[in-house]
Amino acid sequence: MMGAVTQVRVLGGTIGLAISTAVLNSYVKSALSSQLTPDQIAGIAESLSELGKLSKEQQIFVRQTFAEGYNRQTRITLVFSAAVLLTCGLMVERRPRRLGGIDERGLVVVDGNMAARGINQTEG
């Protein structure tokens, strides 16, 4: 069960990262195309050292564009965080389950119900 939870968490993080990256790339490419040539955009996408070949005004524009793209990524992260917080709130139990112990057969008892085998017990 813990492995499944971990996989879902990793999958959620990966999806969030993919969405953020797609938003950044899409915004930056469309915004830069208003003032730069496709070759200049491709050069910047390949290496930010290409930024030195641009005029001062273009450099400032590129920096502002990346800053706005980063702000958009941060807003997306905020939305994902709010969703996680809401989900955590829905998981709160009014009366939390209590571990009752391990019965004579090695089964874990939770609130009077047998939940699972003991840690070192095997089926048989």
Beta strands in 1-124 (DSSP E): 99-102, 107-110, 113-117
Query: What's the pLDDT band for 124 if we cut at 50, 70, 90?
Result: very low
**Over the stretch 14-71, which tens digit does the pLDDT of each residue have?**
988 899 999 999 999 999 999 999 999 999 989 989 999 999 999 999 999 999 999 9
Bigger pLDDT: 39 or 91?
39
∠ CA 85-86-90 to the nearest 5 degrees? 115
**Over the stretch 101-117, which tens digit does the pLDDT of each residue have?**
777 777 777 765 555 55
Structure token pair of residue 54? 């641009």
Bigger pLDDT: 107 or 84?
84
Bigger pLDDT: 77 or 97?
77
∠ CA 86-18-51 to the nearest 5 degrees? 125
Residues 6+ apart with CB under 8 A from 80: 12, 16
